[in-house]
Structure 1
Amino acid sequence: MRWSSSAALALTASGAHALLRFSCSQLVVERLDPLVNPGIAPSPHLHQIVGGNAFNTTMDPLKPPPSQATCTTCTFVDDFSNYWTAVLYFRARNGSYHRVPQKPNVGFEQANGGMTIYYIPYTGRTKSSVTAFKPGFRMLIGRQDYRTREEASRFRQLTYTCLQNPMTRTGETLDFPKQPCPAGIMANVRFPTCWDGKNLDSPDHMSHVAYPETGTFENGGPCPATHPVKIPQLFYEVIWDTTKFNSKDLWPEDGTSQPFVWSQGDSTGFGNHGDYVFGWKDDALQKAMDSNCDSCPQLKSQTIAQGNQCRKQVVVHEEVDGWLNAIPGMSPGMEPIVSGLSLRQ
């Protein structure tokens, strides 16, 4: 059983188990990765980042985001966390690339791209407390270098939804959709829900967390003995507006390939991954998880328009939009190039 946002919303609507679901507008698109490549500017591949404006080349775990940030692009003003993924590009038949824009989810139409973020506090149908993330906590899920289904199956909760309409929440796949999607492609990034209870991070940024021993978070699967502490289900929904590239005349001439490429050079979709640096102020998140609320009126909030105004200083100055000969950080020819129609108009 996979956790889907439709299931999450159904639980919220029924009052069975509430959850936090909110918008975080785009903060910046640039080649920085303080988790995997701290201190390196530019990092090897491009990311799109939302959340607090303390995001930087290096983020010291001893200096948590709430003490460094002055604003956040997220709905809740006490959430200075950073959430990020790779960036999606369209590859034209002539080998040039164009960044695919993000579009807001249903209910957050005023947001500047970004993501929908979920924190799901309870498992199965039994009320069970979770331990909110601690200051200094960070994690990564997925491997940017994976290119096979066998590899990607390790992260069964990283999927794609080919949106037939804005409300589609079925038909998830591990790899990129093979046909044009009428309303765009949603990337679903679900993080592990069990923690070792000791380490705020690990060398690979994954070993300190784990998926349930059997089953999945949403059906109450137990945590393994090595990672006994239940943590919230953190879940990103990122909608890529692929609709301007839906004409089959723009797709590869072989009739079987698809034209989208992650910014690390992955045209399979199996390299889907997401990063997280916890940055909620004080115990705001724990209180929200304990109260089992969805709108959580005790949390301070801001309008989407206010969140859209949050900015950070750009560190890596390079062209990431428009028609490019190569994805930023990659040399031309690192991905297959097919001749034919150019979209440069």
Structure 2
Amino acid sequence: MRSSPRRLPALLLGTALVTTVLGAGTIASATTTAQSDRDATAAASAAHTGHAMAVSTQASGDDPDGDGYIPAVPQVTGVTPSTATPPSRYFHEFQANCSVTHTAPDDPIVYPGQPGKSHDHTFMGNTSTDANSTTASLTGGATTCKAPADASGYWMPSLYNGDRKILPIGPQTIYYKAGVTDYTSVRPFPKGLRFVVGNPMQSADEFRHHRGFVEGWECGDSYFNVDFPATCPNRPDVQLNIRFQAPSCWDGKYLDTPDHKSHMAYPVVKPGTNDNMCPADHPV
């Protein structure tokens, strides 16, 4: 896929392979910071060749039969989504601050064991992440995350300005939030959980109405942009950012599914309230 200047930017697909249980939470959103450019729209004109979200049929260390389903062991069953509204508290989150490690045309979730098959990705966290990564290979590995025990890998499509790759500056922030109103019902995510958020082939309208759209692209005083801001102040203290929220609810059964998305879901609003709760088919 070659993007035109008004097509979607390159950072619409986010992926994570969670290998350590850091606490009670699920990946809620990530803020990515890239070096600003006076004409940021020009960066959209050269999004790297991409792919549609294909069903994974390649066997890997985590999925030996290659059917795309990786069962959780043990599975979490018998859960009823909580409708409670607990006492108000100020924070229900923690953050993983992880610097960029490398870039490569690899994706161990979508194209496991197939180096060079993906469009180019910018990797953060675990320094060993590549096309052959598995939960076992990442566990205990070196990391650029500030929490030394966090062996998780995070990656996103690389951002280009023409043929020049633009790397994020400094540690990137991955927020782990409750996602649901009853934060007391939140459980630790399982080791080995993996998922993909977004779609590099979606239209601008689909991007704007995606549940993960938080503030879109922002730069300086310009935010809620579906496309790159037309201009961006050329100052060292101003950066181009995007924030994208991941689903907070899990089916309790699979660490991954063939489309890398179906085992995860966004919260739903409890009828008659503004409270969020998990849907019945993704109760955890």
Q: Is the 8 A contact 1:142 1:158 kept in 2?
A: no
Q: Which residue identity does 1:51 align to in structure 2?
A: G
Q: Which residue is 1:177 aligned to?
A: 229
Q: Which residue identity does 1:76 align to in structure 2?
A: A
**Structure 2 vs 1, CA of residues 22 and 4 (structure 1 numbering), >3 Å: closer, same or farther?**
closer
Match of 1:66 among 116, 139, 150: 139
**Structure 2 vs 1, CA of residues 198 and 181 (structure 1 numbering), >3 Å: closer, same or farther?**
farther
Q: Which residue is 2:174 aligned to?
A: 117
| SS of aligned partner of 1:172 | strand
Is residue 280 of structure 2 the alignment partner of residue 225 of structure 1? yes
Offset at residue 226 of structure 1 (A) = 0.7
Offset at residue 4 of structure 1 (A) = 8.8
Aligned residues: 195
Is residue 222 of structure 2 the alignment partner of residue 163 of structure 1? no
- Supply the distance in 2 between the matched residues of 1:144 and 1:202 (Cα, whole angstroms): 19
Q: Which residue is 1:37 aligned to?
A: 111
Q: Which residue identity does 1:65 align to in structure 2?
A: L
**Structure 2 vs 1, CA of residues 4 and 47 (structure 1 numbering), >3 Å: closer, same or farther?**
closer
Written as runs of structure 1 = structure 2, the 5 A alignment for 1:125-274 is 126-150=182-206, 153-157=209-213, 159-164=215-220, 171-182=223-234, 183-214=238-269, 220-229=275-284
Q: Is the 8 A contact 2:249 2:264 kept in 1?
A: yes
Written as runs of structure 1 = structure 2, the 5 A alignment for 1:17-96 is 17-61=91-135, 63=136, 65-67=138-140, 69=141, 71-91=142-162
Offset at residue 213 of structure 1 (A) = 2.0
| SS of aligned partner of 1:149 | helix
| SS of aligned partner of 1:128 | helix
**Structure 2 vs 1, CA of residues 33 and 185 (structure 1 numbering), >3 Å: closer, same or farther?**
same
- Supply the distance in 1 between the matched residues of 2:253 and 2:117 (Cα, whole angstroms): 29
Q: Which segments of 5 or more consecutive residues in structure 1 lack a partner in the other structure?
A: 7-13, 92-96, 105-113, 230-345
- Supply the distance in 2 between the matched residues of 1:58 and 1:84 (Cα, whole angstroms): 14
| SS of aligned partner of 2:277 | coil
Q: Which segments of 5 or more consecutive residues in structure 2 lack a partner in the other structure?
A: 1-27, 32-87
**Structure 2 vs 1, CA of residues 54 and 181 (structure 1 numbering), >3 Å: closer, same or farther?**
same
- Supply the distance in 2 between the matched residues of 1:81 and 1:52 (Cα, whole angstroms): 6
| SS of aligned partner of 2:206 | helix
Q: Which entry has the higher C-alpha Rg, 1 or 2?
A: 1
| SS of aligned partner of 1:200 | strand
Tell me how large the CA RMSD over aligned residues is: 2.8
**Structure 2 vs 1, CA of residues 200 and 4 (structure 1 numbering), >3 Å: closer, same or farther?**
closer
**Structure 2 vs 1, CA of residues 202 and 32 (structure 1 numbering), >3 Å: closer, same or farther?**
same
TM superposition score normalised by structure 1? 0.51
Offset at residue 210 of structure 1 (A) = 0.5
Q: Which residue identity does 2:133 align to in structure 1?
A: M
- Supply the distance in 1 between the matched residues of 2:199 and 2:248 (Cα, whole angstroms): 18
Q: Which residue is 1:326 aligned to?
A: none
More helix by share: 1
Q: Which residue identity does 2:241 align to in structure 1?
A: M
Q: Which residue identity does 1:83 align to in structure 2?
A: Y
| SS of aligned partner of 1:43 | coil
Offset at residue 80 of structure 1 (A) = 0.3
Offset at residue 156 of structure 1 (A) = 3.9
Offset at residue 155 of structure 1 (A) = 3.8
Q: Is the 8 A contact 1:196 1:227 kept in 2?
A: yes
Written as runs of structure 1 = structure 2, the 5 A alignment for 1:240-319 is none
Q: Which residue is 1:103 aligned to?
A: 169
| SS of aligned partner of 2:102 | strand
**Structure 2 vs 1, CA of residues 121 and 55 (structure 1 numbering), >3 Å: closer, same or farther?**
same
Runs of 4 or more, structure 1, over 3 Å off, are 3-6, 121-124
Q: Is the 8 A contact 1:160 1:185 kept in 2?
A: no
TM superposition score normalised by structure 2? 0.61
Q: Is the 8 A contact 2:266 2:278 kept in 1?
A: yes
Offset at residue 118 of structure 1 (A) = 1.3
